[in-house]
Amino acid sequence: MERSKARRPFKDQYLIAYNALSAVLWFGVAGRTLLLLPLVGHENVYAGVGNYTKWTQTLAILEVFHILLGLLRSSFPTTLLQVVSRILLVWGVCHPFEEPKNSFFYSTMLLAWGVTEICRYSYYVTSIVGRTPAFLTWLRYNTFYILYPMGAGSEALCIYRALGEAKSFNEILYWVFVGILVTYPPGLYNQYTHMIKQRRKNIRGKKRER
């Protein structure tokens, strides 16, 4: 009886497992990228981590369904935008075209994504468990100041480098990519201000509690 009472709800068990798995997978993305860069150069990073990254990012589609099913209370538009934009980058930009996948910006994009997601998913796990270390809260709500511009800038530059090949492949696709590039400044501003609000709420709020 005591064991059954101590068990966490299935929802919590599932979210702990999902977030822990995601943190480990993104650690693999960041770790592989860091190892490959000095060993084979940025031109060959995609060959070593590209497929792994595509499927790791594709797993994040589940987060859209988590919100729709009521498992999470995150912003649906923000989550959908982030997931769709990254799926586009790994499958629609870097997978079919050589220029972006062979550029240094592909590596910096993966590093920004990797570190961001390691912090985010680890924070989610400890939040559900109810034991979040202070350093993890600090990382979650401070590293974005550098990582968000680094990630968004790298994403935009990967799309920019794909323009030539995209135009040769299909002119409509070229203009789709141009249109996406135009959305980056307001998109980054929206994400940045959202995280600043979250930082104020989570870090300053905890200081007041003390």
In angstroms, how far is CA 144 from the centroid of its own chain?
A: 11
Burial profile 47-86: b = 16 or more Cβ within 10 angstroms, e = fewer: ebbeeebeebbeebeebbebbeeebbeeeeeebeebbebb
Report CA torsion sign: 38, 41, 45, 47: negative
* Annotation marks residue 43 as catalytic: no
Is 155 catalytic? The answer is yes
Which ranges constitute the DSSP H helices of 59-170? 61-68, 76-87, 98-101, 104-129, 134-140, 144-169
**Identified catalytic residue from 148, 174, 184, 192:** 148
Which one of 18, 123, 155, 160 is the catalytic residue?
155
Name the one residue in this structure whose structure tokens are 């369904």.
65
- Cα separation of 102 and 158, whole Å? 9
Supply the residues annotated as catalytic. Answer: 148, 155
